[in-house]
A and B are shown apart, each in its own frame.
Chain A
C-alpha cells in the first residue's frame, strides 16, 4: 500500500512539480534579477490571487471549475465604469464599485446557477459556453446601451459618436487605491521592494472566510451535495438551492477579484479585460495542484506563484533562447490551455485508476476469504 501512497502523492502533485521546473528554467533563461522577480511575484500575487479564490467554493459544491466566473468579472467592470463616470475617486470609488457590483453579480449568479442546475454533470462545458454568451450580452450593453439607455456622460468614457464606451478606460483615479492603502517598502537584494499589504489583508480576510465557510452548515451541505446528490436530496438538503448559492458566491467574489485586478492594472480594457479572467485563474489554480473536485487555499497560492512566474518570464526567456519574445508569449498561452486540458485528462484517468485499485482490493479480499474458508 505504501507504494500506492507515494504514487498517488506524485500523481497528485505532478503538475506543480513540472511547473516548478518550467518556472525555474524560465527565470534562469530570462536573466531577470532576483529583485525584479521578487517584486513581480509580490505584485502579481496581489493582483490575481483573489480571482483564484473565487473558484474554490463551486469546486466544494461539486460543480467543477467555474468558467462562468467571467460573469462576475463583467459585473465588476460595469460597476467600475459607472463609478468612473460619476468621478468617485480613490478608495471610496473602489468601495462604491464593490458595493454596486454585488447586486449585479447576484443576479448574474442566480441566472448562471439556474442554467447549471439544468445541466448537472456537465457544469464545466456549460459554464464555459455561458461565458461566451454573456460576453455577447455584455458587449451589446456596453457598446450600445451605455450613453444611450444607461446614462454615461463623461466624454473620456464615451465614444465620440455619443454612446458606447471607449476601448480603453483609464483608471488613473482609482489606480492602486487598495494597493497603496498600506504599502510596505522594504529592501531586498539591494533594491527597494514594494509589498501591497492592503490588498494582502483583504485577500487574507477572504481566505479566512473560506476556512470558516467550510465549517458552516452551508459548507457541509455543499460537501454533501458534491459527493452524492441523491443522498443529500434524500436527507432533505435542497440540492438545487445549495448549488445555486455556490455559483452566486463565486460570481460575487469574481466581481471583487476583477476589481482588485483592475485597480492594480490601472486601465480597463473594456471589451477584453474579462476575457481571460476565468481562464487564467483556472489555469493558476490547477498549476497549484488542485483538481476538478478538490481545491485548497494552498493550491491557490502555490498556483498563482508558479503560473505567474512562468507568465512574466516566458517572453524574455523566449527572446533569450530564440531571439523572439513572441515565442515566449505564444508559449505561455499554450501553457495555460495545455494545463487545463492536462488536468481534465488527469482527473478522468485518476478516477479510473482509483476504481481499478478498489476493484483489485475487493478481489484480493474475496480470494482471501475463500482461502480462509477452504482451509
Chain B
C-alpha cells in the first residue's frame, strides 16, 4: 500500500516495523508496521481493544509493556533503531505523549503545570551545598516560556489561572503546551485529544495541531471522530484485533470506508441467532428523557430512550462515551438527573432502593466492587438483595427474624445448576470463584429478585468463551420464559448483535442512533464515529471490505 512508500521517505521521522505483543496467551498486536514523516499527521483508529493503546505504550516505553515481557519488532526514530526502557527515555529521545486523562495539578496555575518539574531557576551558591532544588524559581522566565509554548499552539488563555478553574479545553491545551515546551519533542502522540472538548474547542485544537505539523513535528492522532480524522490527517492507519488492516492517505478514502475497516468481521462469527422481532406495538417499559449522569470517565449528557416490554435492548459505544453511565445513573449509583418513567410511574433518581423496589435489577460491570460480597458464601450473595428488599429467605419470629439457610441453599442450588456455576458448593466464598462464575453469581442474584426489568453491564467482560455463551443464553432464556425486559450494555458489538433486538449506540454522552440488531456492521461503526446513518440506507456487510461503499 501507500504506506510502504512512506517508510523510504527521507523525511521519515518515526517508523514501527513488525511490532507484535502478547499479554500472556492473548495476542494484542500482530506484525504492525507504519511510519510518520516530519510534518505529517497520522491518524490511528480502531475499536476498543484493537490495540491502539498497547501500540502507543510500546512507542512510549511504558512499564506495563516491559513488565509483561516486552515486544517484538523494531522502532526507528530518524532512521536509527531505538528501544525505550522507560517513558523518560522516550521523552529524552523526543517523543511527547498527551494521555486521555489529564495529568495536571489542579491547584497550580497554567504556567506551573506547563513547566512542571522543568522550571527555570535562579542559580545560587546554595546549590553547591544543598543541590539544585534549593534554587529559587525564576517566575518571570516561567511565564515567558509558558507563553511561548502556548503561542506555538496558536491559542491564548490566561496562564496564571489555576487549572481547577479552567474549562476542559484549556486543560487539553496545557497538556500539549507541556510537550511543546520540551525543546526536543519531535513526535507528538495525542490520545483522543478532542474527546472531552466541545465542538468549538475541538476546532481550535485541530488548528493548533495543523500549526505544529507545519513547524515540522510528526503527529500521531488517535481519535474515534472520523470526521476530524478526515479533516486533519494526511494518512490513516486502521487497527482491528491487533492487526493493521489499512493504511491509506485520507484523500483516497472516506469516513464510511474507514468505519467499515474498523468494525468488519469475518462472516462465521456473526449471524448466530439474530432475532428479528417487532416490539413497536409492545407497551413502553422504561422511558428515559434528558438523562444526565455524572460518572467519571463515562459521563452521560442527554439521553432519550424508549425501551419496550419484553425486549432485549443493547447499549453499544466505545469506552468512555457514556454507555456504562446510563444504567448506573438510572439505578441511582451515580448522581443523575432527568426524567425516567417505569411503566408510566415516575422513577425517583439517586435512590437505589426505590429502583430495586420498583422491580428493576442491575448487574454491574464492577463485579468485585459493587456486585459481590467477596467474603460471603455463594448462597448468601445470591439471596442477599432479595432478603433485604423482599424479605425472602427469612424465618419470622415474633420480634425478630433469622436467615432461612435451607431456603437460601435451595435457591442457590437451583442457579448453580441452571447457570452451571463451577464451585465446591453453595457455601463456597464468592471471592474464591473465577471471574466467569462470579458473573454468574451476580446474574443469579438479579434473577432471584424476579425483576420486571434488568440492566446487565458488560456481562462477558473478562470471562472465557464457554462461560460467555452460557451467560448470554441465560439472559435469552429469562427474557423469553419470564418476560423480563433486559438492557445489556457491552463494548462487544458482536455480542450485542447476537442477543439484542434493538441496539442504541451511545456517543459522547448521547444516543447517536438506534439500530435493529440486523443492521449492517458498518452502520454501527459510523454511529460510533460520530457520523449519521439514514435508516433506509443499508449497504451489505460484505466479505471483501467495501471499497465502493464510500460516498
Total number of A-B contacts with CB less than 8 angstroms?
Answer: 72
Within 8 A of B (CB), among A329-375: 359, 362-363, 366-367, 369-370, 373
* CB–CB B294/A363 < 8 A: yes
- Check if B359 is an interface residue, CB within 8 A of chain A: no
Judge whether B134 is part of the interface by a CB distance below 8 angstroms. yes
Return chain B residues, CB-CB under 8 Å to A230. 103
Instruction: Assess whether B302 is in contact with A220, with CB atoms less than 8 Å apart.
Output: no
Does A234 contact B103, Cβ atoms closer than 8 Å? yes
**Cα–Cα distance between A363 and B290 once the two chains are bound (Å):** 13
Q: Which residue on chain B has the smallest CB distance to residue A364?
A: B337
Quick one: CB contact mask for A9-30 with B, threshold 8 Å, 1 for yes? 0000000000000000000000
Within B103-125, the residues touching A (CB, 8 Å) are 103-108, 112, 116-117, 119, 121
The winner among B87, B107, B117, B301 for most chain A CB atoms within 10 A is: B117
- Say whether A216 faces chain B, with CB atoms less than 8 Å apart: yes
Whether B302 and A216, one on each chain, are in contact in the complex, defined by CB atoms closer than 8 angstroms, is no
Say yes or no: is A221 at the interface (Cβ < 8 Å to chain B): yes
Interface residues on B, range: 20 to 34
A contact residues around B292 at 8 Å (CB):
363, 366-367, 370
B107 touches A227 (CB 8 A): yes
Query: Given the known A-B contacts A212-B136, A217-B119, A373-B302, are A367 and B337 also in contact in the complex, defined by CB atoms under 8 Å?
Result: yes
From 222 to 243 in chain A, residues with beta carbon under 8 angstroms from any chain B beta carbon are: 223-224, 227-228, 230-232, 234-237
The reply on A215 being an interface residue by CB < 8 A is yes
A231 touches B136 (CB 8 A): no
> Which B59-90 residues have C-beta < 8 A from chain A?
87-88
- Interchain CA distance A237-B118 in the complex, whole Å: 10
B267 at interface (Cβ–Cβ under 8 A)? Answer: no
Contact B105 A363 (CB under 8 A): no
Question: Using Cβ atoms and an 8 Å threshold, which residues of chain B touch A366?
Answer: 292, 301, 337
- A114 CB → nearest B CB, Å: 19
- The B interface, classified by DSSP as helix, strand, loop or mixed, is mixed
Judged by a CB distance under 8 angstroms, whether A320 is at the interface is no
Tell me if A217 and B121 are in contact (CB < 8 A): yes
Residues on A with beta carbons closer than 8 Å to the beta carbon of B139: 215
Give the docked Cα–Cα distance between A373 and B105 (Å): 32
**Which chain B positions have C-beta within 8 A of A362?**
294
Which chain A positions have C-beta within 8 A of B121?
Answer: 216-217
The one of B117, B290, B302 in contact with A221, judged by C-beta atoms closer than 8 angstroms, is B117
Q: Identify which of A216, A221, A227, A363 contacts B337 (C-beta below 8 A).
A: A363
CB neighbours (8 Å) of B337 from chain A are 363, 366-367
CB pair B136–A227 under 8 Å, yes or no, is no
The answer to whether the Cβ of B135 comes within 8 Å of any Cβ in the partner chain is: yes
Task: State how many angstroms separate the Cβ of B480 from the closest Cβ of chain A.
Answer: 38
B277 within 8 A of A: no
Residue ranges of A at the interface with B (Cβ–Cβ < 8 Å): 212, 215-218, 220-221, 223-224, 227-228, 230-232, 234-237, 359, 362-363, 366-367, 369-370, 373
Enumerate chain B interface residues (CB-CB to A < 8 A).
87-88, 103-108, 112, 116-117, 119, 121, 132-137, 139, 290, 292, 294, 301-302, 335, 337
6 A-B pairs within 8 Å (CB atoms) are namely: A217-B121, A227-B106, A236-B117, A363-B292, A370-B302, A373-B302
Extra 11 A-B pairs, beta carbons < 8 Å, given A221-B133, A224-B116, A369-B301: A216-B133, A216-B136, A217-B121, A217-B137, A220-B119, A220-B137, A221-B117, A227-B108, A231-B103, A232-B116, A234-B87
